[in-house]
């Protein structure tokens, strides 16, 4: 992947030709020390509602969280979503599981709970189609966690998904890029130019899918090697840019 210099995305004068895909953690809300510690205020809910109306429904969230988690956080707001890194998609009030939850994830869940039971700064998060370990509260555990997760992935045939101070084992064959591409084949997204905003390496597949479909990715945070074409500084900057729509 070639290194590029990312520029600030231009203000969108007309939203009539675009559809919008948004990552959640680190993009719409600030990262929290614990995955259950995120805070969503009424201003964000109102912003998403305005965007969904302005885009005539051409708005979707693409997240590593499950759809059930997102629904709980957003108080059941009914917009299109792809959860579990593209492993589940809700579109037009229907939820489709791309794959089922394999027994291997339950085995991994038990093994990780036993392995890190006494590590107070290490959090094991069970997801619909994955099991993640967060070590933001104990950065010294990084090397050990990556080694353990790599071993378990090889043993059980799971994918390793890295992120900001986290590692996840998840089902194979799907990502945010496959979810975005699938949603682009259905109304109301079909025929519009996709824009995807995300902050983490977990969002790179979405950026690449956007580019392949003639759209653009927007990276949130410090510049790095990326398939995105543009960059915004932080969550507050994302909100400001979205408000121009």
Tens digit of each residue's pLDDT, the chain (245 residues): 444 578 999 887 678 999 999 999 999 999 888 888 888 889 999 999 999 999 999 999 999 998 988 988 998 788 899 999 999 998 876 666 666 788 999 999 999 999 999 898 999 998 888 999 999 999 999 999 999 999 999 999 999 999 999 999 998 889 999 999 999 999 999 999 999 999 999 999 999 999 999 999 999 999 889 999 999 999 999 999 999 88
Cα torsion angle, 10, 13, 17, 22, sign: positive
Do the Cβ atoms of 167 and 146 come closer than 8 Å?
A: yes
For the chain, helix (H) and strand (E) counts, in that order, are 7, 12
User: 187-222 burial, b if ≥16 CB within 10 A, otherwise e?
Assistant: ebbeebebbbbbbbebbbbbbbbbbebebbbbbbbe
Region 18-98+174-243: CATH code? 3.40.50.1000
Cα torsion angle, 15, 18, 22, 26, sign: negative
pTM attached to this predicted model? 0.88
Q: What CA–CA distance (Å, rounded) separates 244 from 231?
A: 16
Residue among 144, 100, 101, 97 at smallest CA distance from 119: 144
Residue ranges of domains in the chain:
18-98+174-243, 103-170
Do the Cβ atoms of 157 and 187 come closer than 8 Å?
A: no
* Beta pairing partners, 29: 25
What CATH number matches the domain at 103-170, 3.40.1390.10, 3.40.470.10, 1.10.357.10, 3.30.70.1020?
A: 3.30.70.1020
For the annotated catalytic residues, the residue numbers are 23
């Amino acid at each position: 992947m070639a290194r590029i210099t990312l520029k600030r995305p231009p203000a969108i004068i007309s939203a009539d030709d675009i559809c919008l895909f948004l990552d959640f953690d680190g993009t719409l809300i600030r990262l929290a020390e614990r995955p259950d510690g995120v805070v969503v205020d009424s201003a964000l809910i109102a912003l998403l509602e305005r965007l969904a109306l302005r885009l005539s429904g051409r708005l979707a969230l693409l997240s590593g969280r499950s759809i059930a988690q997102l629904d709980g956080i957003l108080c059941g707001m009914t917009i299109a979503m792809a959860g579990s890194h593209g492993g589940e998609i809700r579109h037009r009030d229907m939820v489709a599981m791309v794959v089922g939850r394999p027994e291997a994830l339950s085995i991994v869940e038990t093994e990780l709970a036993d392995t890190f039971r006494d590590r107070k700064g290490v959090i094991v998060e069970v997801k619909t189609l994955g099991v993640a370990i967060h070590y933001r509260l104990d950065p010294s555990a990084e090397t050990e966690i990556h080694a353990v997760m790599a071993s378990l992935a090889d043993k059980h045939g799971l994918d390793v998904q890295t992120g900001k101070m986290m590692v996840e084992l998840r089902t194979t064959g799907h990502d945010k890029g496959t979810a975005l591409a699938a949603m682009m084949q259905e109304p109301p997204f079909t025929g519009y130019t996709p824009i995807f905003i995300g902050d983490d390496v977990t969002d790179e597949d979405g950026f690449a899918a956007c580019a392949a479909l003639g759209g653009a990715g927007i990276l949130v945070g410090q510049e790095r090697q990326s398939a995105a074409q543009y960059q915004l500084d932080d969550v507050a900057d994302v909100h400001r840019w979205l408000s121009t729509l």
